[in-house]
Amino acid sequence: MTLEIKNVSYQYEEKGRQILDHFSLSIDSRERVGLEAPSGFGKTTLCKLLSGYLEPDEGEILLDGRPLSSYKGYCPVQMIWQQPEFAVNPRLRMKEVILEGDQVEERIVRELGIEDDWMRRFPGELSGGELQRFSIARALGKRTCFLLADEISTMLDLITQSQIWDFLLRETEQREIGLVAVSHDRELLDRICTRVVRLS
End-to-end CA distance of the chain: 27
Buried b (16+ CB within 10 A) or exposed e, 75-92: bbbbbbbbebbebbeeee
Binding track over 163-182 against another protein, x by CB under 8 A: x-xx----------------
- Report DSSP state, residue 78: E
The answer to whether 18 contacts another protein (rule: CB under 8 A) is no
* Smallest separation, CB 111 to another protein (Å): 11
Residue among 6, 95, 175, 184 that touches another protein (CB under 8 A): 184
Sign, CA torsion 59/65/66/71: negative
Contact 125, 94 (CB under 8 A): no
Of 2-10, 14-22, 26-34, 185-193, the segment contacting another protein by CB under 8 A is 185-193
Binding track over 41-80 against another protein, x by CB under 8 A: ----------xxx------------------xxxx--xx-
Binding to another protein in span 77-96, by CB under 8 A:
78-79, 81-83, 85-92, 96
Q: Which of 72/106 has CB closer to another protein?
A: 72
Phi-psi region of 129 (alpha: psi -120 to 50; beta: other; left: phi over 0): alpha
Residue among 14, 106, 116, 117 that touches another protein (CB under 8 A): 117
Contact 20, 42 (CB under 8 A): yes
Contact 59, 25 (CB under 8 A): no
Q: Which of 191/195 has CB closer to another protein?
A: 191
The answer to whether 105 contacts another protein (rule: CB under 8 A) is no
The answer to whether 9 contacts another protein (rule: CB under 8 A) is no
Distance CA(83)–CA(80), nearest Å, equals 9
| Cβ neighbours, 10 Å, residue 135 | 22
Binding residues for another protein, rule: CB under 8 A, are 38-40, 51-53, 72-75, 78-79, 81-83, 85-92, 96, 100-102, 113, 115, 117, 125-131, 135, 138, 141, 151, 154-163, 165-166, 184-185, 187-188, 190-191
